[in-house]
Amino acid sequence: MKQRDIFIAFFRSSMLGYGGGPTTIPLVQKEVVERFKWMNNEEFGDVLAIANTLPGPIATKMAGYIGFRIGGVPGMINAIFATILPTIFFMIILLSTLIEFKDLKWVQGMTKAVVPVVAVMLGVLTWEFVQSAIKGLKWFFTTVHILVALVLIEYFGIHPGFVIGALLLFALVKPTRITVKRDKEKGLSL
């Protein structure tokens, strides 16, 4: 039953994720967090952040990790296979057909009509992540993080993976209130 659910979740996400890996992220989130409840939004955000820092297609990285977490090695293989199967199918069958008709107006309109829907899906997912960040960081620090990331990525051309990696590294080495309080109690603070 669990392996069947893993396959269905990732196959459906990949089948409906027109436009590549980033478009499947909200669909994977819907399956993993909302439908099957294998993880919560914060855990999904962590998986997404780490997957963004690693090389390769994001959809297969997320499928591999989530599949492994839910169903071990067989779950990982199952999720990755379910993720790449629709791509193989569409590449071979549909693209060969669409290339033949690419100059027809209805084919061009079909591909352009999907873009706003994907934008809305990514916007909704972004808003959910912002709300989650506000719970942990509050409004001020969430806004600072968003603005700094925007400047680094858009104006300085720094790859998002490096920005995420730097934030993860900072979070690992940054002293927390608990460790600072504990160190003060032990007389270890400067």
SS3 content of the chain, % helix, strand, coil (to 5): 85, 0, 15
- The pLDDT of residue 183: 60
Whether residue 167 lies inside any domain: the answer is no
Whether residue 184 lies inside any domain: the answer is no
Q: Is 14 left (phi over 0), alpha (psi -120 to 50) or beta?
A: alpha
Splitting the chain (190 residues) into consecutive groups of 10 residues, what average pLDDT does each group show? 94 81 87 95 90 86 95 96 88 78 81 82 86 87 92 93 86 67 60
Whether residue 110 lies inside any domain: the answer is yes
Whether residue 108 lies inside any domain: the answer is yes
- The pLDDT of residue 15: 86
Distance (Å, whole) CA 70 – CA 62: 12
Whether residue 174 lies inside any domain: the answer is no
- The pLDDT of residue 177: 59
Range of the domain at 126: 2-138
Whether residue 129 lies inside any domain: the answer is yes
Whether residue 47 lies inside any domain: the answer is yes
pTM exceeds 0.85, yes or no: no
Burial of 136 (0-12, 13-18, 19+ CB in 10 A): exposed
Distance (Å, whole) CA 13 – CA 31: 8
Whether residue 158 lies inside any domain: the answer is no
Q: What's the total number of domains in the chain?
A: 1
